[in-house]
Structure 1
Amino acid sequence: MTNVLIIESKPQDAAALKRMIEQIGSELNVCGTVNSVRDARNWIMNNKAPQLIFCDIQLPDGSGFDIFGSLTIAAPVIFCANGQEHALKAFENNGIDYLVKPFSSDRLQKSLKKFEQFKQVFGRETISQKQDFNHAVSSVNKYKSSLLVYYQDKIIPISLDKLDFIYYNNYQVNVHTQNTQYETRDTLNSIINSLNPHDFFRANRQFIIHRKSVTSIQQYFGRKLLVGTSFPTPEPVIISKANASEFLKWVEGLNKVPEYSVMH
């Protein structure tokens, strides 16, 4: 049984989160709910340590980060917030994931799956050791789980699970999902370095593609590869001869980190 502590400013949100957690898995037990920095400190000092913490960042008497700055806490934390602006600091404070409110049951389930994978890789005894825990967190969270894009004069996060491809043309980089195109100010180079190479590949100077979108591969002129995709693209997705071998390994899941020959 995994004991879960919820630190949430709004009691109704805490109750909703508790129901979602317990519906997802019978092995999850919400052992406590508190709604302030003070109450969280008191609970942690007077109860058996939980194995997982959900923590709201904006609490009535301060920030959720204040809790972890004053206490030595080994439990991993899934932070919850109304925006993306605290994401980096979250991963510096025992964070293994970051949920933007409101989030769905499916998104919560992915966070809990990430926690289970974390336990399997590093073991419960390792998680209880602060130094090893921090090293493990930095490894798990090396890559982004979402991209910030511009849409109708707003900056919004796009989950990488929804992304089909990223396309560069005429000095503009656009992020494409199944139904919408978004603008980003990042370059393809900076984006690819922040994405998990298991899921994304820099096809050429124009495209970064998601593994789930590859439907077929054909031989092309000059030993290049023509990639068939599950989505329409502005131009054909062509893999150069130099990158063909790495691409095929990537599709099979054999390589670790592709070394691209395109520089742009």
Structure 2
Amino acid sequence: MNALIIEDEKLVALELTASIAEVDPGIKIVGTVGSVKTALRWFAENAEPDVIFADIQLADGISFTIFDKFKISCPIIFTTAYNEYAIQAFKVNGIDYLLKPVDWDELRQAIAKARALGKSQSKTAIDVQKLLDALNIPSALKPTYKEHFLGNARNSWIPVRVADIAYIVRDELNFMVTNSGERYILDYDTLDEIESLLNPNQFYRASRHCIVNINSVQSVKGLSNLKLVLALKTPNHQFSIDISRDKAPSFKKWLEQ
């Protein structure tokens, strides 16, 4: 049985992984993700697991938003620090929960329930709106993303709208290039940090060194090795972006959203 852990505290994720291994050695942890954004990417690139262990409050939002975008059918066991009254909400649609710190007996019972659901093939779909209503959490609660960056050009700081960025590339420093071709230095240490500030519906991490805006893509060409090459709109048409064979399926899904 394959399991995914969604937890933004690394120590808690490690402890849960160890507890699962002790309680049920037959469970294989196929992934551990720590944010809404990384979880969305994981589901876009991987097959649905047999069970999910999900925290509720993540660094960039609530995990319900993940299940709102991807219609998950496998059992989900929530791990939460909510009080006893709020916990009752997780009995909607038979979804189980574990109160932190995780108790081994409760963990064992939750896993047994997930296995039973799998064997009966009566997978339970999440009614996200019911969960939000029961917890009195606004459905409009979404992660917030940057709307402007300060770019450095010739020792001057220029505010640039995120919507005007065609792509961001790492070349010793991080550079953002606008739809009109202007190039600015971004004062961030890594592309990972920049990526976490961008809306994943609008920006895609094409490679370790490049993030591209969906609105700047002119065309996509497939190669014989199953890789893709992106051509950007003028005036950035001379800059091409390669998409690896492994990332090609998730890129196509992103482009068709």
Superposition TM-score, scaled by structure 2 size? 0.45
**Structure number with higher relative contact order (C-alpha < 8 Å, ≥ 6 residues apart):** 2
